[in-house]
Amino acid sequence: LLVAIDGPAGAGKSSVARALARELGFTYLDSGAMYRCVALLWLDSPEQQPAALAREARIEMREDSSRPGSTPRTILNGHDVTEQIRTPEVSEAASEAAADAGVREALVAKQRALIAAGDWVAEGRDIGTVVAPDAALKIFLTASPQERARRRAAELGADAATVLAEQMMRDERDTSREHSPLLKASGAVTLDTTGMTLADVVQRIAALARAARARY
Ligand code: DC
């Protein structure tokens, strides 16, 4: 069974997806981390085509068994890049790389191969629309732009106004790009998390997932 969670940056997708996966005993897939890996390779080799880098990249997500529920480690071509892929420079390059049709094609194929077997909570921008339109449960997670910027700023230890300005540019690019723009999938349940606690959001989605499981 697959729970697909899509939505804009800062809506709480990562925290929600990770906690939900733990609650349900499913595996967590952070598709954004894969776009970030391609961005990191691209920043290192700007002369290369990002789509070629995406096709060749070996990306693994490894749970840290000593810290259950923590962020899985992202391993790129054998190197742990978990922290490196979270810089503002990589965020910017990831948004650009994600607009490339060849990059998307390569990463969607890798994501489909991963989720083909087992129970997953997969999170991103196009999981319910492109990667897995037949997911048992699709959630469109959102929150007000100010709330999203506040959360990101707290996470990064950055200034909220700066984060809000950069977020607006990335939102604009992610929603207006030609290939797989951020859209609510048909049949998706919208959840606005402004003012909701993480625990509330997780319980709401877990209840929907259990109902979906009963139907399948
Ligand atoms: O969720 P995130 O901030 O880690 O995502 C990084 C970038 O990748 C962001 O610009 C949106 C893009 N992305 C995408 O286009 N499709 C996905 N499934 C996941 C992320």
Is 37 in contact with 76 (CB distance < 8 Å)? Answer: yes
Ligand 1 atom with the smallest distance to the CA of 6 is 18
pLDDT given at position 181? 84
- Ligand 1 geometric centre to CA of 97 (Å): 9
| Residue 85 CB burial class (10 angstroms; 0-12, 13-18, ≥19) | buried
pTM as predicted: 0.91
CA distances from 52 to 40, 56, 93, 160, 165 (A): 13, 6, 16, 35, 31
Residues with CB under 6 A from ligand 1: 9, 31-32, 35-36, 94-95, 98, 124-126, 170, 174
Q: Which residue's CA is the nearest one to ligand 1's atom 10?
A: 95
Distance from Cα 215 to the centre of ligand 1, integer Å: 30
Mutate to test the pocket of ligand 1, among 2, 13, 14, 31 (most ligand atoms within 8 A of CB): 31
Residue 57 pLDDT = 98
Tell me the pairing of strands 59-62 and 73-76. antiparallel
Beta-bridge mates of residue 137: 3
pLDDT at residue number 79: 97
Out of 125, 129, 130, 140, give the residue to mutate to test ligand 1, the one with the largest number of ligand atoms within 8 Å of its CB.
Answer: 125
Per the structure block, which two tokens stand in for 61? 């997500």
Taking the CA of residue 126 as reference, the ligand 1 atom at the shortest distance is: 18
Tell me what pLDDT residue 69 has.
67
Which ranges of the chain have pLDDT less than 70? Answer: 68-69
